[in-house]
Amino acid sequence: MDTDDELPDDWLRLSEPDAGELEADLVQAALRSPRWSAGTMVERFETAFAREVGREHAVAVASGTLGTWLVLRALGIGPGDEVIASAYGWHQVAHAVTLAGARVVFADIDYWSGCLDPTRAAAQVTPRTRAVLAGNVNGHPAAWQGLRRLADEHGLRLIEDSTEAIGSVYQGRPVGSFGDVAVFDFSQPSALCTGEGGMLVTDDHRLASELRYLRARSTADRRSVSVGARVPVQATLSEPAAALGLAQLARLAEILERRKAVEASYLEQMLSFEGIKPPYVAPGVEAVHWMLYVVHLGKRFTVSACAQIVEDLATECIESVLYCQPLHQQHHYVQQGWKRGALPLAERIADRALALPLHGALQAEHVEFIVKTLKDSSVNVGAGAAIY
């Protein structure tokens, strides 16, 4: 989801951080500290975040991509190994598999939730498979019961990508509590935003210890002779960023509540949009906190018609994007033999999944204008009303 970072101030943007006085106070406290890295703010953020998602350990990192790469390294996954993942959703996390030297094996999704389908993932298991990387796509929890069963039956590690879903709840548990390790990312458009940064959470003490070792070298290591194959990288979160995260976490319920009010406005306005259905919520899912408001357009909308709708919205200063280009259709993976037609469900959704603005600064009148513009555009492109 590439967006324009230089939009004028009068645009209705896809996302905006929700910041208040607490963020300013804690960042100022971090700036007054004699340590701007590896200090008490990072430790406090890790402790509070682990408690929030009900895990024993949390390890702050510079991004979700780097965090996932560190997880793969810590698990000994690299060249010659395979990781099953979805081609649909937040690409940066699956990219880490390639960065680690392993091979991504894509499996198709559940059509309704957009998440990795456990049955289709099972069909991709080979003797080289070491892990399953599954995401809570756009905030909707994946089928974790089935994915855990798949991982246990084949002796695989289960990596949970929660970069899009903070606050969502499945079968009484928050996202981030299902994988052997879970990955969060705090860049926009995350509801909890620190600009850049991420968090790894796990109940495995040995894994957490290895992740802490791999994410940074300390000053005490400068004359170490023990660094060999386990060479660490510089992938820590800064103290000011951790201060932002700590404040955002303390205000998370408030932030999510404001976003839910915007979602309610969307639902109300979409009722007058012929054929449109409310976003799907699977059985067992108790709360979904969408990353963006995604509308699924009908099959009568061509790819070019969807692109025209994005342009029409931009004419009215509304930022929107097609939700994603599936990874198996991108050049790097096409060179590895993947091609269109391999994942028909992901392709069908991705061709017509339109992401609209969702953040706490939007007012009801903004949402009304966005939906009216979308309806007008759908008529202008000659496709009629949208349909889920």
For the chain, the structural domain boundaries read 21-250, 252-380
- pLDDT of 383 > 60? The answer is no
Per residue in 130-142, pLDDT (tens digit) is 999 999 999 999 9
Helices and strands in the chain: count of H runs, count of E runs: 13, 13
Structure tokens given for 162: 């929660």
**Residues with Cβ < 8 Å from 186, sequence gap 6 or more?**
192, 193, 194, 195, 196, 197, 198, 199, 241, 245, 248
pLDDT band, residue 378 (cuts 50/70/90): confident
pLDDT digits (tens, 9 = 90+) for 210-248: 999 999 876 666 666 666 567 888 899 999 999 999 999
Confidence label for 300 from pLDDT (cuts 50, 70 and 90) = confident
Rounded Cα–Cα distance for residues 126 and 107 (Å): 13
Q: Give tens-digit pLDDT for 336-355.
A: 999 999 999 999 999 999 99
| Tens-place pLDDT, residues 264-291 | 999 999 987 765 677 899 999 999 999 9
Q: Which residues pair with 285 in a beta bridge?
A: 170
In one-letter notation, the amino acid at residue 2 is D
Q: Is the pLDDT of residue 159 over 60?
A: yes
Check residues 225 and 292 and name the one with the higher pLDDT: 292
Architecture of domain 21-250: 3-Layer(aba) Sandwich (3.40)
102-112: average pLDDT: 97
Q: Does domain 252-380 have CATH number 3.90.950.10?
A: no
